[in-house]
């Protein structure tokens, strides 16, 4: 028993930086607080466009929608045990967007009215969607955290040197991109989010990217300086 405890302590000290994940507790507590204060009775801004009305409902997308939980959990777990720097970056990337999304919901209470009025139970997928609707209210949807976190995780995977160096690294990156795309699509076709919510998530992910990885324009300038030094030099 003593040896087991010593082993546990060694592992804990080795990965003690995982304590940063405790910050994540802020989100569900804060979100729950907003949910209790933003209801149909209090009123909120409706996120709804003509484009949303043209997007068909498809219950089969409940599969990638729920795969989001596994995608984010396994992604964080991978970086935790493989690369401390990448782990910190993906956590920071996720936390920045999640905190800002809550601030937006505090300042601008919002929700959707896109859900179909009735969901039958003719197949397991529709039953799953009905269950989702029961536990997840159509409020506080802008920007979409489902979409934002998926984008963050894909960016982290795409930028990971460890993953790119794997034998099937490219397949992992492309698989991540496909899953990220399907999750974002799922938020729309399941009528959980408006296209405004997904657009807001994309914009927020781009802004937060700069604080974690550096803005693309800066990297492009450095690339041009290295590739074409003579052209980048100022004329005397």
pLDDT tens for 92-139 read 999 999 999 999 999 999 999 999 998 888 899 999 999 999 999 999
Q: Is residue 137 part of a domain?
A: yes
Flag whether 124 is in a domain: yes
Maximum alpha-carbon separation in the chain: 76
Least confident span in 1-5, 80-84, 102-106, 181-185: 1-5
Answer yes or no: is pLDDT of 235 > 50.
no
Q: Specify whether the CB–CB gap between 138 and 114 falls below 8 A.
A: yes
- Evaluate if pTM is beyond 0.95: no
Q: Residues 127, 182: contact at Cβ < 8 Å?
A: no
195 lies in a domain? yes
Query: Would 198 be classed as within a structural domain?
Result: yes
In this predicted structure, the answer to whether residue 156 has a pLDDT above a threshold of 70 is yes
Strand ranges in 20-82 using DSSP code E only, listed in sequence order: 45-46
Q: How many domains does the chain have?
A: 1
Question: Residue 145 is part of which domain span?
Answer: 46-214
* CB-CB contact of 136 with 112 (8 Å): no
pLDDT at 221 over 60: no
Domain assignment present for residue 112? The answer is: yes
Q: pLDDT tier at 207 (50, 70, 90 boundaries)? A: very high
SS3 for 111? strand
DSSP summary character for residue 165 = T
Give the model confidence (pLDDT) of 61-100 as tens digits: 999 999 999 999 999 999 999 999 999 999 999 999 999 9
* C-beta separation of 31 from 145 below 8 A: no
Query: Does any domain span residue 183?
Result: yes
153: which 2 tokens?
A: 């995780």
Residue 29, domain member (yes or no)? no
The SS3 of residue 150 is helix
**Confidence band for 214, pLDDT divided at 50, 70 and 90:** confident
Angle between helices 62-82 and 124-135 (to 10 degrees): 70
Evaluate whether residue 122 is within a structural domain. Answer: yes
Residue 187 burial (C-beta neighbours within 10 Å; 0-12, 13-18, 19+)? buried
């Amino acid at each position: 028993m003593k040896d087991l405890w010593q082993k546990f302590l060694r592992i804990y000290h080795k990965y003690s930086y995982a304590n940063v994940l405790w910050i994540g507790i802020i989100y569900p507590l804060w979100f729950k607080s907003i949910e209790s204060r933003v209801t149909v009775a209090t009123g909120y801004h409706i996120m709804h466009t003509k484009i949303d009305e043209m997007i068909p409902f498809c219950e089969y997308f409940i599969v990638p929608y729920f795969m989001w939980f596994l995608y984010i959990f396994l992604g964080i777990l991978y970086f935790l045990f493989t690369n401390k720097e990448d782990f910190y970056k993906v956590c920071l990337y996720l936390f920045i967007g999640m905190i800002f999304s809550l601030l937006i919901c505090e300042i601008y209470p919002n929700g959707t009215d896109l859900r179909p009025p009735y969901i039958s139970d003719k197949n397991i997928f529709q039953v799953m969607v009905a269950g989702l609707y029961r536990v997840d209210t159509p409020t506080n949807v802008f920007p979409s955290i489902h979409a934002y976190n998926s984008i963050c995780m894909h960016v982290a995977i795409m930028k990971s040197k460890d993953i790119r160096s794997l034998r099937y690294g490219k397949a992992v990156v492309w698989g991540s991109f496909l899953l990220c795309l399907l999750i974002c699509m799922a938020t729309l076709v399941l009528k959980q989010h408006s296209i405004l919510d997904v657009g807001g998530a994309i914009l927020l992910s781009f802004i937060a990217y700069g604080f974690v990885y550096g803005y693309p324009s800066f990297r492009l300038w450095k690339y041009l300086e290295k590739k074409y030094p003579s052209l980048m030099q100022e004329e005397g």
